[in-house]
Amino acid sequence: MAHPGAHHTKGRPPRVGDHPVFRRVLLAVVLFFVLLLIVAPLVVIAVEAFSRGVGYFAKTIGEPDTRHAILLTVLTALVAVPVNTAFGVAAAWAITKFDFTGKRLLTVIIELPFSVSPIVAGVAYLFVYGLQGLFGPALQSAEIKILFALPGIVLASMFVTAPFVARELIPLMQAQGRDLEEAATSLGASGWRTFFSVTLPNIKWALLYGVVLCNSRVMGEFGAVSVVSGNIRGQTNTLPLHIELLYHDYNATGAFAAASILALLAIVTLVAKVLLERQGAGRARRPATLAGLDAVPPETRP
């Protein structure tokens, strides 16, 4: 009588999904949902955006309100992404390189924007910076306008995207430990020299990955920005808000034309994500070194 496991390859036990029929059915289900939920909407956006020709598409994109929405979106990203990048690096450095009371609480707070609805965040900003809010009277007396202006849009965008960079860096820096930084310090390197020569080269791919995701979310944010911006046409409308206005104006083709810019951004982000993942995975598997500190003068070393 044959052994029960004799028919398995090299005596290995069967794995879930080993049967060819199961694999094909599973792949067909996945492809069906990918085509239905991801590919089909992108195709519809592209087709509808150019349904009246390239000339109408260019005219729609060139309209003053659309150009202002694009510029406002880009400006918001140019402010929010660098600030959140600096915050993410600082937070990851503090959490992974130092021991202090409240470290776990700080980690939870950094993750908080993922648990709070963007609209709730926008309403919270109204109660903090609005005329009837906590700082509203003081801001009004100082003639500083936060809400329904660029500062409010940037603050709301920063809130919803605050965790992206830190979330990518913290697990990596925890796995790397503190040995390299401590060794660099013992060789006489300053804090900044240690960061740029040791820490940054070891986290650069995760850092770029987090920046790409942060930028994509900033440009596509709708909920929080819709609350704090006031939806003022041609003044405080970012591109997602402008798309909604065009659609409500029964200008579906114009809405799709503007939406195609965000769709293109999503594709570029996806390509950048894949390239960064390949770069990170394709690096030579060698232990990290202190090669960047070779230029430290010997007399500064203990």
Q: How far is CA 90 from CA 163, 237, 292, 293, in A?
A: 12, 31, 21, 22
- Given this model, what pLDDT does residue 280 score? 61
Domain extents for the chain?
18-49, 53-285
Q: One digit per residue, pLDDT tens: the chain, 302 residues?
A: 454 544 555 556 666 666 778 888 889 999 999 999 888 988 998 898 898 888 888 888 889 999 999 999 999 999 999 999 999 999 998 898 888 888 889 888 998 998 888 999 999 999 999 888 888 888 888 888 899 989 999 999 999 999 999 999 999 888 888 888 778 888 877 778 888 888 888 888 889 889 988 998 999 899 899 999 988 888 899 999 999 998 888 888 889 999 998 888 878 887 887 887 776 643 444 444 454 455 444 444 44
Question: Which residue from 108, 214, 212 is spatially nearest to 162, judged by alpha carbons?
Answer: 214
Residue 284: predicted pLDDT: 40
Longest distance between any two alpha carbons in the chain, whole Å:
92
Output the pLDDT for position 134.
87
What is the predicted pLDDT for the residue at 300? 43
pLDDT at position 282 is 39
For residue 254, the one-letter residue type is G
DSSP state of 264: H
Cα(107)–Cα(101) distance, integer angstroms: 12
Helical spans, DSSP H, in the chain: 20-34, 40-49, 54-61, 64-97, 103-115, 118-129, 136-141, 150-161, 163-176, 179-186, 191-194, 200-220, 223-229, 239-248, 252-282
Q: What is the pLDDT of residue 30?
A: 92
| pLDDT for residue 195 | 83
* pLDDT at position 28: 92
The predicted pLDDT at position 12 comes to 64
pLDDT of residue 299: 44
Query: Quick one: 53-285 is in which CATH superfamily?
Result: MetI-like (1.10.3720.10)
